[in-house]
Amino acid sequence: MPTASTTADNTSQQSDHFRENAENCARLAESAKNEPLHLRYKRMEAAWLALAQEQDWLDGETAKGAVAHSLMGTATLSEDDSTSVRVFFAASYTLI
């Protein structure tokens, strides 16, 4: 039967694993060959960080109502400057 400390270690490891996945996505975003792929990896990074924060909250490590993560930026969706479209993207996660 798992003890309280064993359970805490496992859930802590789970949020650490989520953060490692976010770091991998960040690295993949930096090496992406095009903007849509870059944006996809950045969204995945934000999602993994949100999951890590949610797990921390479930484990009682983060205060209820704390802002978990925020990611903002702009990206060009076309390589052709004449038809280039700039978009703003933002991902945030708030625990309520």
pLDDT recorded at residue 18: 97
Give the pLDDT mean for 30-35: 97
How many distinct structural domains can be found in the chain? Answer: 1
- Tens digit of each residue's pLDDT (9 = 90 or more) over 57-79: 999 887 655 544 444 444 444 44
Across the range 42-55, mean pLDDT stands at 95
Q: Could you give phi then psi for residue 68, rounded to 5 degrees?
A: -80, -50
88, pLDDT greater than 50: no
Helix axes 35-58, 4-30, angle to 10 degrees: 170
Query: What domain range includes position 55?
Result: 4-94
Tokens of 87: 């978009």
